[in-house]
């Protein structure tokens, strides 16, 4: 979302700068350094919605938040630039490289900025009462070497969604718990004419998440129990060897390495997919399609049984220290976490809150209950390793190829993790 000069310099044609911010009463750009004058906070954020112009777009969401904040804090303007998930990592990296960092960044990772000393510590930008309300396990993942730099922004968990009508048509009595059962169900769905028995998105949008679910299913992960990178572990290779068999048999999304999860979820919503891994943020997409009230959700299937853990996802919000606005950033963050903004995220995107107060408010929501129940025992990406940012980007770009050559692609990713 943010950046005074980047819009033109980087050609961010798809990004929108909220026009409600950025000029003083005389019409000139606000001077961030002016004594006693208005301060402009520049913010960049990922788009959780369907893109510019859509009712749930990031631009629409943040404009409502910013307008409310600015009404209460007329001397602080917030300039917001929204970038889609496929591009945000690369564009932010370019901003940092050019020395044109925002004040606030909301995206999927923070740790890569810590090693370069670019971020404020959480203590400098959030009041104690907000810190104390954050879910403890989640807040711990915002720390590097004992100091917190990343603030959990939203959370999510994963489950296996299945189309009840297609299951009945294919004669499948129960959703699968094991990989053998999942393959058997996929074969029945294919025989019944379902074009995508299992939806498998390994494109760049969130391939690191889909892959992790399969790693977990084989008892693997990005790191081993000792904390060492283990991307090419026997367990992970086994997981992708299983997926290769599914792909080769025509039981998944065709060419999964080119398919983003949003497209596969839309296919599930249209009744074209029998099973797909998803989260609470999938629900609005599914409920807008022909499968509304015709799908179920269960724990993700694993090699020998349904997983007793799942992928817990946290996205992050953080503050860069270059521009010298910690007091104004603190006001914005305190406003965000204590006001209606978090509830608006839940209502708009069906993402889960990261505060105890937020979770308590949702306790009666039956559709979210499976995911709220899964959060306490969730497994997470290795956020606290500064190398994760680079590894995650490489996974997004290349792991689709592991469905063709598991050992080689996972081996190459292991080299990325171990280099430097």
pLDDT of 340: 85
Contact call for residues 230 and 220 (beta carbons, < 8 A) = yes
Name the strand (E) or helix (H) holding 124: helix 122-125
Cα–Cα distance measured from residue 382 to residue 111, given in angstroms and rounded to the nearest whole number: 10
How is 367-408 classified by DSSP, letter by letter?
TTHHHHHHGGG-B---TTSTTHHHHHHHHHHHGGGGGT-HHH
What does the pLDDT look like over 248-302, one tens digit per residue? Answer: 999 999 999 999 999 999 999 999 999 999 999 899 899 999 999 999 999 999 9
Cα–Cα distance measured from residue 193 to residue 290, given in angstroms and rounded to the nearest whole number: 17
Radius of gyration in angstroms for the set of CA atoms belonging to the chain, rounded to a whole number: 22
Per-domain boundaries in the chain = 6-156+313-377, 159-311+387-418
- 364 vs 58, more confident: 58
Return mean pLDDT, the chain.
88
Residue 316 scores a pLDDT above 80: yes
Residue 10 scores a pLDDT above 50: no
Residue 7 scores a pLDDT above 90: no
The superfamily (CATH) of domain 159-311+387-418 is Periplasmic binding protein-like II (3.40.190.10)
Cα–Cα distance measured from residue 161 to residue 158, given in angstroms and rounded to the nearest whole number: 9
Name the strand (E) or helix (H) holding 190: helix 179-191
pTM over 0.85: no
Cα–Cα distance measured from residue 101 to residue 314, given in angstroms and rounded to the nearest whole number: 22
For 6-156+313-377, CATH number? Answer: 3.40.190.10
Q: Do 159-311+387-418 and 6-156+313-377 fall under one CATH topology?
A: yes
* % the chain with pLDDT above 70: 91
Contact call for residues 382 and 224 (beta carbons, < 8 A) = no
């Amino acid at each position: 979302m943010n950046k005074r000069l980047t819009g033109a310099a980087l050609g961010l044609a798809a990004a929108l700068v909220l026009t409600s911010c950025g000029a003083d009463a005389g019409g000139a750009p606000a001077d961030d350094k002016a004594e006693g004058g208005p301060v402009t906070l520049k913010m960049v954020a990922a788009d959780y919605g369907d893109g510019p112009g859509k009712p749930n777009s990031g631009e629409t969401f943040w404009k409502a938040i910013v307008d409310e904040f600015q009404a209460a804090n007329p001397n602080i303007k917030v300039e917001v630039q929204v970038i889609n998930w496929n591009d945000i990592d690369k564009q932010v990296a370019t901003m940092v490289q050019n020395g044109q960092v925002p004040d606030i960044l909301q995206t999927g990772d923070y740790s890569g900025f810590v090693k370069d000393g670019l971020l404020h510590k959480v203590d400098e930008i959030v009041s104690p009462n907000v810190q104390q309300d954050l879910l403890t396990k989640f807040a711990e993942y915002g720390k590097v070497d004992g100091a917190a730099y990343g603030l959990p922004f939203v959370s999510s968990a994963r489950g296996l969604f299945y189309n009840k009508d297609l299951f009945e048509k294919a004669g499948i009595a129960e959703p699968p718990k094991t990989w053998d059962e999942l393959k058997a169900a996929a074969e029945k769905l294919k025989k019944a004419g379902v074009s995508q028995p299992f939806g498998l998105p390994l494109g760049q949008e969130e391939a690191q998440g889909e892959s992790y679910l399969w790693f977990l299913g084989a008892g693997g992960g990005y790191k081993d129990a000792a904390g060492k990178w283990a991307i090419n572990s026997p367990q992970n290779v086994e997981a992708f060897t299983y997926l290769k068999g599914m792909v080769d048999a025509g039981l998944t999304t065709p060419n999964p390495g080119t398919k983003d999860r949003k497209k596969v979820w839309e296919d599930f919503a249209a009744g074209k997919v029998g099973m797909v891994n998803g989260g609470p943020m999938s629900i609005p997409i599914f409920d807008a399609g022909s499968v509304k009230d015709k799908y179920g959700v269960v724990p993700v299937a694993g090699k020998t049984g349904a997983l007793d853990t799942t992928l817990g996802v946290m996205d992050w919000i953080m503050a860069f220290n270059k521009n010298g606005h910690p007091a104004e950033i603190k006001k914005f963050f305190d406003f965000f976490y204590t006001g209606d903004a978090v509830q608006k995220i839940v209502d708009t995107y069906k993402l889960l809150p990261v505060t105890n107060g937020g979770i308590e408010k949702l306790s009666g929501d039956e559709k979210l209950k499976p995911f709220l129940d899964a959060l306490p025992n969730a497994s997470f990406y290795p956020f606290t390793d500064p190398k994760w940012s680079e590894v995650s980007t490489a996974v997004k770009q290349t792991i689709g190829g592991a469905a063709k050559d598991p050992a080689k692609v996972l081996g190459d990713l292991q080299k990325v993790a171990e280099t430097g």
